[in-house]
Amino acid sequence: MSRILQEIEAKIESIKTISPAQIYVGVVQEIGDGVAQIEGLSKAVLNEMLEFPRGEVGLALNLEETSVGAIILGDYTSIREGDEVRCTGKLLQIPVGLALLGRVVNALGIPIDGKGPIPTKDFYPLERNAPGIIQRQPVTQSLQTGIISIDAMTPIGRGQRQLIIGDRSTGKTTIALDTILNQAVINHAGTHNPNFRPVYSIYVAIGQKSASIARVVSILESRDALRYTVVVCASASESATVQYIAPFAGMSMGEWFMENGRDALVVFDDLSKHAVAYRQISLLLKRPSGREAYPGDVFYLHSRLLERSARLNIGVGNGSLTALPIIETQAGDVSSYIPTNVISITDGQIYLETELFYQGVRPAISVGLSVSRVGSAAQVKAMKQVAGKIRGDLAQFRELAAFAQFGSDLDAKTRLQLNRGQRIVELFKQRQHSLLSLHHQIIFLWAAKNGFLDALGIDQVREYSTRLIEFMDSRKSALVEKISKTQQAIDDVLEEELKHALEEFAKLFL
């Protein structure tokens, strides 16, 4: 009998008591256009994931006195009025890590490229606090785009936020894509250098055509750049909800690299469509509309997104996250609501002019309206030395060209400035995906600054630049190596060597 009692007691002790759990449950009051109004979820928190009966997931965005407004992630057609909704107590999380490189994913980080699941154990919440001032350090490292007009006049530093702005079809995506491709070129070149830090890229497509996104992916694949890149896709055919969360997902993926002591670049293509998606969601949630029907917190939407890019100090990993947001203007109007908002958040802008684009000046960068408030501090000293005067020459040329069309009598100095300006404009024309390394850019700019292009016809400048690269790489490789390795300004000895090399090439070319 005692043995039976002992067995019963042992079994009773082995039974685990289930502690009671609190589950907050609400009821769908209204559903439509991807937005649900839910009654009874008084304990829901902002951005909390909500669980619907057939597995759908919602995100709590409006916390009102008697109801919660939630956006549905994915298909909402099976949700009905009266359905039970549960709080999960979790924030929406996105997979992050090196395993995402080379993959095309949707806004939730789920792969859509048919290459199987992504093996990652790391997850970051969709929205996170931006690094504080104490955690940051000044931007002192350059991020080369491979586009001579940008690297010379509106340089970008690692950890900077540089806006690309312009009308439709003026080459905004091309500039961002070339920057990603150039990081891949530099990463390939630095593979054998133990101190080299590669830059990983995240391209976030918001509201773009699926065909355009597929074209970007195919270019990245053909240039072997996809293995350093994550593509986050929220195409025009997706719901406003998906387009709204996509840039936050891309930023979380980039933050993983930054916080693990790496350098990352995130491109948002484009935030105009993101603002439109947010406006659509806000109007459906019955939020009061403000200027241009956008909600009053649309500025906060973009500022809390872009403030997350930074260059961290050594104490917190020494990583960086550079942001390149893109904004599309209507008929060149930079004074409308969304452009002015994002201009005020970023550290400079690259403004693309439609007129220049149609004149064949590509990339169609406006010298007067484009500015970098940080990047010049990150420029290599040799680049700063040769590029400083070029920007001034080009700005003067724009003024003189407008003035010169009204009169024919020009003095010799004015004619020289006009001629030099025309040749610099021609030198800055660059075919898409035709990237220039930093040392080649320095050679070109030094040649322009010291008058080596003045004797050329305008139609000869492109051929001159092509043949000069071939000449320097084949016959003056030691000099090119010196320029590529120097972190200091070009000294008198190097200047003399450059001068002799360019004089020798001039005799061959002319």
Q: Catalytic residue numbers?
A: 373
- Beta partners for residue 71, in sequence order: 35, 59
Name residue 364's amino acid: A
Element (H, E) at 200: strand 199-206
Q: Per-residue b/e over 328-346, b at no fewer than 16 CB within 10 Å?
A: bbeebeeeeebbebbbebb
Q: What is the rounded CA–CA span in Å between residue 446 and residue 200? A: 31
Given a contact cutoff of 8 angstroms between Cβ atoms, the answer to whether 402 and 508 are in contact is: no
Residue 18 CA to its chain's centroid (Å): 49
Q: Find the helix packing angle between 461-475 and 412-428, rounded to 10°.
A: 70
Q: Which residues pair with 91 in a beta bridge?
A: 48
Give the pair of three-digit tokens for residue 31: 């559903």
One-letter identity of residue 429: K
Neighbours of 12 (CB within 10 A): 8
- The three-state secondary structure class of 189 is helix
DSSP state of 403: H
Lateral strand order in the sheet of 320-328 = 104-106, 229-234, 199-206, 263-269, 320-328, 163-166, 348-352, 371-372
